[in-house]
Structure formats: structure tokens, C-alpha cells
Amino acid sequence: MNRRLVFVLLLVLGVAAAVLFVGVEPQTNRASAQVLRSRGLLAAARYLEVTGVEVQLWERPLDELSVAPGASLVIALPMMVGLTGAELTALDRWRLGGGRVVVLTTGEEPKASDRELLNALDLYTAERGEGPPMWWFDWKDWATRQEPITSEAGWPSPVSIQPGRFATLPVGEAEVIYRGVENDPAVYRLAPPGWGEVVVVDNATALGNRWLGEAENLALLERLFPAGSPVFIDEWRQGYSAIEVVDADVLTPSQLLLTHLALLYLAAIWTLSRPFGPPLRAAGVRRGSVSRDLLALASLHRYSKHAEAAGQRLLDLVRTRAGRRSQELGLPERFEGGEDELVELAQRIGRLQAEHKLS
């Protein structure tokens, strides 16, 4: 595998992991009484308990919640689990029985499940600001900005919130408790005859872990939930469940994707740490037999016609020694042939020497 290709794959994996973490982050930083991050309501729940308010984290469907006159049901957006038809009916029954509903919005564009709840409570959303800026420093300032809201009903002021792009507004008339800098309702109450009131806090950052200690936010919390009235925080909507699930130990899709990316990353690192291609070994000296070497040498002599040159040299030497008698020996003028003819010529010259015709 090409190293450049491996580096490109690692870069793609890093970008995919970053996108995945950005997508998962809002789900881990949600308005839940069991979350320690900035949007969590853990500090608010603990503070209410210290001040004597009975707080119960409801981790079951709303249709299993009994009506409690004077009690407050807190529903925070965005919801991880939408409301079923039975739960919407239970929500109406709760209000008809004298229970309060406190809605904590997110300030962002609501999901379909959130709109269903808002419609059931005669609420709607409207866009009131531009989206987040592109540059990181501008985005950081935009994400951490705070805005004071003031009360028109004698409640403690000012309260500090983080303004959102979307405002949650009542369909009909509402009692406005706090207004923002643009005179839009930030905290208001709907109390139709015969129904329990609905209190909307737009948005939930005013009661979040990060902003609860700002300005008069704690005083707002105390006024929303006075001592003596129990508070039920709907944790079922935030994905927490007290019901045993058969497949609770099965990995979620995001966890499976993270595991997959981790395995690919380890495989790429392992590939980069190993040499590419088969290992190179030094070629040893190949030794042949003596007979094969002699045959190779003979082939070389035959290719170079050494036998013909040797035969001609032998003929020339015999004529020189025989002198005038060379014509009587009957030897050829030129030698033509190979090794066999050279052997025959040598034997013939030997016989001439034996017959004393050649000294």
C-alpha cells in the first residue's frame, strides 16, 4: 500500500471522528438533572433539594405518572424521546388535575418531537437571530454570550440567559414575567381556565449548571419552584430509563462507528510501522560441479572455434619441420573440422612420427 494513500486515509478518519464527536456532543450536553456539563440541571435539582423542595427524577413514561395537584412537571428541550399519544393524553390529564408544566426551551430550532409538545401546549417557535458565525473566535464569543432579562411582575432582576436563534412564543395571551433586551417574552405563564398553568422559560440556560450562579438566576429558580410543592423532572425525555431493557448492553450506532474508526486507525498505524514488500535476502554464491564447469568451458571453446585454429597451427608446425618433404606426407593444406577431426589429425601425425617419416 502506498504511504501517501495511508496518510490520506488517516486524515479522512480524523475528519470523520471530529464530525462524529461534534454530532454526539449535543446529546451528551443536554438539560438533564443527571448531567454535569454546562446545560445540565444537576446543580438546580440539588439546590432545590437543599432548600426543602421535594425533587423526583421521573424515569418512566408520563402515562405512568399519577396526577399531583400543585406539583410541577419539568420538561426540558430538546427531547431525546418524543411523546406518545398516551403520554400526550396523560399530559392533559395532569393539567386538568391541577398540575403545573414548566417547559425549558433550548433556544435552537426545535425537532419534530419538540414541536409536537409545543403544539399541545399552544406554543410555537419563531426565528429571531442569525446563525452562528463561521470564524472560530467569533463563534466562541457567540456561543458564550449572555443577555440580561428583566421582570415586569416584581420578580428578581436581572436574570442572565444565553439567547438563542429561535424564540418560543404563546399562541394566545400570556402573562409575561420577564422580557429580553428586544422586548420579547423570555419567561411567561399560560393559565387557561380549568387547566393547570404552563410556565415557559426561554431558554433553559438560565437554570443550567454553568449559568445558575449568574445574576439573579438562583432567585428565579426559587420563585419557579417554591418550597412545599413537589417537582418532577422528566428524565425519560432525556433518554434515562428506570425500566430494564433486554438489549441495554448493545452498542449504540455512534459507539459502533467510533469502534470501527478506532480499528481502522490501528490497522493504518500497523501498516505504516511495517516495511513494504517482501524482505530482501542477499544472494549467495552458487557453486557448480567440476564436470559442469568443464562442459561449459568446452562449449566456449567450440563456440570460439579453437579446435580449428589448433588444427591449422598443428599443420603449419609439421610443414615447417618437414621442410621439402612436407608434400610427401599427404597432409591437407587447411584444417577443417572440430574436436574429432583434431584428434584424428593428431593420431595421423603420431603414426608418421612412428614410421620415421617425420622427425
Q: What is the pLDDT of residue 95?
A: 95
Looking at residue 306, its pLDDT comes to 78
pLDDT of residue 206: 87
pLDDT value for 22: 47
* CA 120 centroid distance within chain: 38
CA–CA separation, 217 and 151 (whole Å): 12
Instruction: Name beta bridge partners: 104.
Output: 76, 201
> Which residues of the chain form CATH 3.40.50?
31-243
Which architecture does CATH list for 31-243?
3-Layer(aba) Sandwich (3.40)
CA distance 30 to 77: 8
CB atoms within 10 A of CB 341: 14
b/e map 286-319, b = 16+ CB within 10 Å? eeeeeeeeeeeeeeeeeeeeebbebbbebbeebe
Distances (CA, A) of 5 to 12, 16, 271, 272: 11, 16, 11, 11
Question: If the chain, 359 residues long, is cut into consecutive pieces of 10 residues, what is the mean pLDDT of each piece?
Answer: 63 62 54 87 94 94 93 93 93 95 91 93 87 73 79 89 87 92 90 94 88 89 93 90 47 67 78 69 62 72 77 80 73 78 79 69
Return d(Cα 330, Cα 245) in angstroms, integer. 118
Say if residues 238 and 76 touch (Cβ distance below 8 Å).
Answer: yes
- The answer, as to whether pTM is greater than 0.85, is no
